[in-house]
Structure 1
Amino acid sequence: MPDLLPPTRWALGGARNTGYGERFADLIAQGEDVVGEGRLADALVGRGARILDAGSGMGRIGGYLHACGHRVTAAEPDATLVAQSRRTYPGLTVVPHEILALTPEALTGAGVPTEYDLVVCVGNVLAFLAEGTEVAVLERLGSLLAPGGRILAGFHLRGGPATARSYPPDEFAADVTAAGLRVDHRFGGYDLRPVDDQYAVWVLARG
């Protein structure tokens, strides 16, 4: 049951999260490029793919992928960001759930797929999970993959948000394995730059 889930680091951040959605809205209004993650996600699937944007925030990546013609389900538990997403991207389907609440029953009840060709989990979402739930979250994301499906994930290694955890690459890779997944690729950015110690982009699949 969603009410029994432990609070995420994002939820515990409270007022310190204020301004996140507005900052991206301002960048979009200024014509800034805020969809690098979306371009890589689009390249990983064929046309009209089923994509889950897990931890979709204000909708910038899910909205982009929807505009590319994919069938996108955006999942976001923060009510303020859900409202902003629905205002900004009215064609995007948003379900107000955190990742561990994305059960087949919840997805079916929302009228969205229960299997996805690609799960997108970017923007430090994995560094904002509730303490000790990392493997369970990765297991849940893996359970939502269609045959041949993949997960695109990314988070800061240094210089990330103050309320996010540090998630060392070796620890993340161990959690991936524990969740029954494997690392197919790791990069230093969504432009596929070489691995560095600032940011990590991962492409995962079922082990």
Structure 2
Amino acid sequence: MTTPPTRWELAGEDNRGYGQHFADLVGRGVDVAGEARLADALVPRGARVVDIGSGMGRVAAALAARGHDVVATEPDPALRAQSLATYADLEVLPHEALALDPGELGTFDLAVLVGNVMIFLAEGTERSVLARVRDLLAPTGRALVGFHLQAVKAGSRTYPAAEFVADAESVGLRVVHRFGSYELHEPVDDYAVWVLARG
């Protein structure tokens, strides 16, 4: 399946330090598992989780270590290489979000899209990606989505909260919760953490 280039791809070398930055933090023993702790709390032990845009693997690896059946997906070859170097036991599929096939992968208790995945998608594909997330969810499954509401890095977009909610609802997803952080602070203007479910 041919998909349009993502904003991440188009930014090219401007985003090359991301994976190494987190690898350095992991190497120094810094806690980088905030997203994974919340994801873990949303599902029972041994849940099926898909990490869409898994980057250098930190969230997927943390969830696998907590006993979940994790499918990690990352289209950027440099980030997949960093993931392999940091988490050698974590298999990462090279799939774009729109190439994830529920017929091939099955359905999941939780879909994770953190680390600003939503603001680096290909232009105009947000609703299509959210529809694919919906299709990947089991009937009682949920999605954990987190991103900056304003463009923050090279190539990223501004994605206002109201627009995101409208996009999610248009494809049959509903907002269960909105927080300002992965530690469940109240909503803020610059960052949003969402828990979504089928409508």
Please classify the TM superposition score into its range, dividing by the shorter chain length: over 0.9
Whichever residue aligns with residue 148 of structure 1, its letter is T
Which residue number in structure 1 is paired with residue 186 of structure 2?
194
Distance 1:72 1:162 in 2: 29
Partner of 2:156, secondary structure, is coil
- CA deviation after TM superposition for structure 1 residue 159, in Å: 6.2
Partner of 1:165, secondary structure, is coil
Output the TM-score relative to the length of structure 1.
0.93
Residues 119 and 151 in structure 2, CA contact (< 8 A), matched pair in contact too: no
Residues 158 and 197 in structure 1, CA contact (< 8 A), matched pair in contact too: no
Which residue number in structure 1 is paired with residue 55 of structure 2?
57
Which residue number in structure 2 is paired with residue 150 of structure 1?
142
Distance 1:34 1:49 in 2: 21
- CA deviation after TM superposition for structure 1 residue 197, in Å: 0.6
Partner of 2:49, secondary structure, is strand
Which residue number in structure 1 is paired with residue 165 of structure 2?
173
Which residue number in structure 2 is paired with residue 125 of structure 1?
117
Partner of 1:162, secondary structure, is coil
Partner of 1:161, secondary structure, is coil
For residue 44 of structure 2, the aligned residue among 46, 67, 70 is 46
Regions of 4+ moved over 2 Å: none
Output the TM-score relative to the length of structure 2.
0.97
Residues 72 and 93 in structure 1, CA contact (< 8 A), matched pair in contact too: no
Structure 2 residue runs of 5 or longer lacking an equivalent are none
Residues 76 and 94 in structure 2, CA contact (< 8 A), matched pair in contact too: yes
- CA deviation after TM superposition for structure 1 residue 104, in Å: 3.4
- Percent of residue pairs identical: 60
Higher mean C-alpha displacement, 189-198 vs 91-100: 91-100
- CA deviation after TM superposition for structure 1 residue 86, in Å: 2.0
Distance 1:163 1:63 in 2: 27
CA deviations on 1:148-205 (whole Å, 9 max, x unpaired) are 0000000012462232100000000000011111001000000000001121000000
Distance 2:167 2:88 in 1: 36
1:99-118 alignment, distance < 5 Å: 99-104=97-102, 108=104, 113-118=105-110
> How many residues of Structure 1 are paired with residues of Structure 2 in the alignment?
199
- Is residue 34 of structure 1 aligned with residue 32 of structure 2? yes
CA deviations on 1:85-127 (whole Å, 9 max, x unpaired) are 123222222110110010235xx3xxxx411000000000000
Residues 23 and 82 in structure 2, CA contact (< 8 A), matched pair in contact too: no
Distance 2:152 2:59 in 1: 19
RMSD over aligned Cα, in angstroms?
A: 1.1
Partner of 1:5, secondary structure, is coil
Which residue number in structure 2 is paired with residue 79 of structure 1?
77
1:13-28 alignment, distance < 5 Å: 13-28=11-26
Residues 10 and 164 in structure 1, CA contact (< 8 A), matched pair in contact too: yes
Distance 1:15 1:84 in 2: 15
- Is residue 164 of structure 1 aligned with residue 156 of structure 2? yes
Partner of 2:152, secondary structure, is coil
Structure 1 residue runs of 5 or longer lacking an equivalent are none
Distance 2:169 2:110 in 1: 19
